[in-house]
Structure 1
Amino acid sequence: MFGLDAFHLARIQFAFTVSFHIIFPAITIGLASFLAVLEGMWLKSRNQTYRDLYHFWSKVFAVNFGMGVVSGLVMAYQFGTNWSGFSQFAGSITGPLLTYEVLTAFFLEAGFLGVMLFGWNRVGPGLHFFATCMVALGTIISTFWILASNSWMHTPQGYIIENGIVIPQDWFKIVFNPSFPYRLLHMSTAAFLASAFFVGSSAAWHLLKGNDNPAIRKMFSMALWMALIVSPIQAMIGDAHGLNTLEHQPAKIAAIEGHWENPPGEATPLILFGIPDMEEERTKYALEVPYLGSLILTHSLDKQVPALKTFPKEDRPNSTVIFWSFRVMVAMGLLMITLGVVSLWLRFKGRLYESRPFLWFALFMGPSGLLAILAGWFTTEIGRQPWVVYGVQRTIDAVSAHGDLHMSISLLAFIVVYCSVFGVGYHYMMRLIKQGPITGEGHVVEHGGPGQKKTPARPLSAATHKEGDL
């Protein structure tokens, strides 16, 4: 397929499926906590607006949660089908970590999800709020174990190798490996921001359409407060993560910077833009800012950043890709901070809900959090290459012995099925969002209705249907 061998097709397949999958858990993590906050605020204030928003976003959460579970199952199977070398080599560590995720997070989420989605008028308000909090906690615990497993692949420790197999020695060191705290904070915060911009963009769309009511204003305001407060914090976490990566994966940093060599005694410049060329070993058309690379990455004006030419060619990540994926992530982050600052100024001026240019800005920033997450994961995972377990096992040694034709057919099948199935799910979520919050939803009435006592609370029945709709 396109002149690629089975190894590269397996990598593309995993990248494709994980790119689809990661969008859903990111929104799930953020929306679960958002729902817990909404219900907590309703219990405290009895303000109907919070309850209306809870019922509205719980439908979106339910559909998104289902798609996340389905797409996540495929990821686990691929370890055995396409990456059996990795499973055989490091399965004694990644297997238990993923099992802990199922035993703690997945069981917790599954146990309370039914109460959260269907029990509003069937259990007491305190128990229902507890169920919502447990689902939100489950998403965080799931993030903990997934990031522990993935971070160990980046900064492995707490193990020995016997007969070509990894043997765990210290589970505390395995879980709390050097990159884990930074990556856990970075990913969790990214999920909260992605959800905030998703919510804020939805509110902006309604305001632009003239659907101006207290529920729309409330979710727009809450999303912008999150953007204002959390975006700068995420930038600081990212800086700390970068310093950790410089210590443990210097080749990745060199590739991100497109930095090839260090002239003696010169500080490292920051290359804003350019085209890294892996064959010619230089960054073409580089636009540099003197000293800034050293200042950002070493917090000094004289220390140098490791250069790509100091590493063997076979150990260098693909700078051409991660040079730009990193800059996409940073650009999205800067736009998030800008949106938060502008929202504060407009809030002070009393024009937060009326400024149409700002509402269009907020609308187009809706996918920015997800784009930043995808760009960040590309940077992280491609930057780890050519290692699947950094410094321990090469990716080429981890792949299964499949033929080119087999991998081509399976990749095409994944593309068709994913675009079809998840495309329908995405379309349905957009219909839910366009419907908007319904005032008074969740009250107990005798005639039933969506979300009411005498009608099954089916998330897939939440969107109104018009004649001619599928």
Structure 2
Amino acid sequence: MMETLLLSRIQFAANISFHILFPTITIALGWVLLFFKLRFNATGDAKWMDAYRFWVKIFALSFGMGVVSGITMSFQFGTNWPGFMEAVGNVAGPLLAYEVMTAFFLEAVFLGIMLFGFSRVPNWLHTTATVLVAFGTTMSTFWIIVLNSWMHTPAGFEIRDGVVFATDWFDVIFNPSMPYRLTHMLLASGLTVAFLIAGISAFRRLIGDSSDGVKAGMKTGLWMAALLIPIQIFAGDMHGLNTLEHQPAKVAAMEGNWETGPNKPLYLFAIPNEEERRNDYAIKIPNMASIILTHKADGVVPGLNDFVAEDGTVMHPPVSKVFWSFRIMVGTGLAMLLVSWGTLAWIARRDPETGDRFRLKRLPKFWLWGLVAMTFSGWLATLAGWYTTEIGRQPWLVQGVLTTEAAVADVAAPMVLTTLIAYLVVYALLLTAYIAVIFYLARKAAKGENINNPIPQSGEATTGLGRGASGAAVPAE
């Protein structure tokens, strides 16, 4: 049974790790597409529609991958984790249904208009479709985060004969951690898309595409990253304080702190030794963990030893996994801060010849390659953060209500292993193909093949996409 439990956990982790990559893109990219469309409507400048037409393809590709992987993941509730729905299905089922009814159908219906309605519907309808798809992605995020947050900080329920029943849906939905998790996830999506746009735009410039649409997209990505990363740092701090209150064992694992007490150091590097319950080869900053978590140097930080029962049963998460995934997330976030602010600072310098600022042509090739290297940095940060929060909940599936072990199916371990290997092979192929297609589209766009139809001019009634009130074109730089 323990082998089945471990393999089932790895399999679900593989499925959700693959799935989450794509909603992380579509959540924010929908709103970026709306920004591009509104800028085109306001200025009539073709560069914004160029950017829209390119990135709507990436959106559609990501949406399709997310739908397929999401369906596969949902089947595992029955095949691998029947105890989950048996115990908490009265809460989880309706929340998942709300996501389908209020979000998925909205996205699926109006995505077709976004993709194929450029020359078939009026401009206002095409813009409205973009609004509704963007709203749908956010609503989908809302309901999924509601369920996930409830699993971490359950509220508004009672247990009868081992089965959970909702007693207050307001408390279920707005459970203690939901606002923090939702904010953190939306910002993570924004940063993922910001670096995706900046990185792919930098790649297009490196292969010779200096079109106005590329410049507009690249600046949009850079400004998004620079503005969102400090907000994310603040939101992450607030989320950490909420976690300290409701899931102290997770915080203790994140900090690698074994004994409860004040004046706790921040471990920049350490190898948690779970057998001897200490940290080896530690590099630390005195008092900093207490300052970060309690905003006081003498603030008390929970220790992992508080979560060991008298019989020796460990009731805290695996320390090393949570400790290191948290540091990967934070380290990636700091890299995002340095790259986005550093890039804007570089191009903000006044050009000695023209006196202009924020001209992308001033970026050297090595800097552009650095942006390309950061293209999928949002994925790395998202996965590391997801592992931190989900592994940090162990041994609970629903905190304080249902353990992971109690929910797993009684399936032979070899069967789970076989399907796990199949999933990993398929996902590796699909992810490779997905990334390859994105760069293929970038190369195709660089050759001028990204726009299938010319941008319509004012008065072309067949398209409804006029050049706006002014009819003026705004230069990209």
Residue of structure 2 equivalent to 1:243: 241
CA contact (8 A) 2:188 2:232 kept: yes
Q: How does 1:36-435 map to 2 (within 5 A)?
A: 36-262=34-260, 266-312=262-308, 313-349=313-349, 350=357, 352-356=360-364, 357-435=366-444
| Distance (whole Å) between structure 2 residues aligned to residue 152 and residue 442 of structure 1 | 47
Amino acid in the other structure paired with 1:369: G
Question: Which sits farther off after the overlay, 104-113 or 243-252?
Answer: 104-113
CA contact (8 A) 1:55 1:441 kept: no
Question: Which sits farther off after the overlay, 277-286 or 379-388?
Answer: 277-286
Q: How does 1:19-34 map to 2 (within 5 A)?
A: 19-34=17-32
CA contact (8 A) 1:35 1:54 kept: yes
| Distance (whole Å) between structure 1 residues aligned to residue 368 and residue 287 of structure 2 | 38
Cα 1:35–1:277 change in 2 (3 A) is same
| Distance (whole Å) between structure 2 residues aligned to residue 54 and residue 352 of structure 1 | 20
| Distance (whole Å) between structure 2 residues aligned to residue 146 and residue 53 of structure 1 | 30
TM-score (norm 2): 0.90
Residue of structure 2 equivalent to 1:466: none
Cα 1:240–1:22 change in 2 (3 A) is same
| Distance (whole Å) between structure 2 residues aligned to residue 422 and residue 270 of structure 1 | 36
- Deviation of 1:284 after TM superposition, in Å, equals 0.8
Residue of structure 2 equivalent to 1:465: none
Cα 1:65–1:291 change in 2 (3 A) is same
Deviations 1:127-169 (A, max 9, x none): 1000011000000000000000000000001000001100110
| Distance (whole Å) between structure 2 residues aligned to residue 283 and residue 360 of structure 1 | 37
Deviations 1:437-470 (A, max 9, x none): 647654379xxxxxx99xxxxxxxxxxxxxxxxx
Amino acid in the other structure paired with 1:443: P
Secondary structure of the structure 1 residue equivalent to 2:208? coil
Q: Which runs of 5+ in 1 are unaligned?
A: 446-451, 454-470
Identical amino acids, percent of aligned pairs = 46
| Distance (whole Å) between structure 2 residues aligned to residue 443 and residue 206 of structure 1 | 20
- Deviation of 1:422 after TM superposition, in Å, equals 4.1
Residue of structure 2 equivalent to 1:6: 4
Amino acid in the other structure paired with 1:330: V
| Distance (whole Å) between structure 2 residues aligned to residue 120 and residue 170 of structure 1 | 45
1:443 aligns with 2:454: yes
Q: What RMSD, in angstroms, separates the aligned Cα atoms of the two structures?
A: 1.7
Secondary structure of the structure 1 residue equivalent to 2:361? coil
CA contact (8 A) 1:52 1:441 kept: no
Cα 1:426–1:359 change in 2 (3 A) is closer
| Distance (whole Å) between structure 2 residues aligned to residue 219 and residue 429 of structure 1 | 15
| Distance (whole Å) between structure 2 residues aligned to residue 228 and residue 211 of structure 1 | 24
- Deviation of 1:204 after TM superposition, in Å, equals 1.0
CA contact (8 A) 1:206 1:216 kept: yes
- Deviation of 1:419 after TM superposition, in Å, equals 2.3
Question: Which sits farther off after the overlay, 328-337 or 414-423?
Answer: 414-423
- Deviation of 1:206 after TM superposition, in Å, equals 1.8
Residue of structure 1 equivalent to 2:354: none
| Distance (whole Å) between structure 1 residues aligned to residue 228 and residue 204 of structure 2 | 24
CA contact (8 A) 2:290 2:301 kept: yes
Secondary structure of the structure 2 residue equivalent to 1:123? coil
Cα 1:340–1:417 change in 2 (3 A) is closer
| Distance (whole Å) between structure 2 residues aligned to residue 192 and residue 225 of structure 1 | 11
- Count of residue correspondences: 443
| Distance (whole Å) between structure 1 residues aligned to residue 316 and residue 265 of structure 2 | 20
Secondary structure of the structure 1 residue equivalent to 2:408? coil
| Distance (whole Å) between structure 1 residues aligned to residue 95 and residue 163 of structure 2 | 17
Deviations 1:217-261 (A, max 9, x none): 111111110111111000000000000000000000000000111
- Deviation of 1:262 after TM superposition, in Å, equals 3.8
Amino acid in the other structure paired with 1:71: S
CA contact (8 A) 2:215 2:360 kept: no
| Distance (whole Å) between structure 2 residues aligned to residue 142 and residue 275 of structure 1 | 38
Amino acid in the other structure paired with 2:401: V
Amino acid in the other structure paired with 1:412: I
Amino acid in the other structure paired with 1:385: Q
Deviations 1:193-219 (A, max 9, x none): 101100100111122223222111111
Secondary structure of the structure 2 residue equivalent to 1:101? helix
| Distance (whole Å) between structure 2 residues aligned to residue 327 and residue 286 of structure 1 | 14
Secondary structure of the structure 2 residue equivalent to 1:272? strand
CA contact (8 A) 1:120 1:442 kept: no
CA contact (8 A) 1:195 1:369 kept: yes
Residue of structure 1 equivalent to 2:470: none
CA contact (8 A) 1:268 1:290 kept: yes
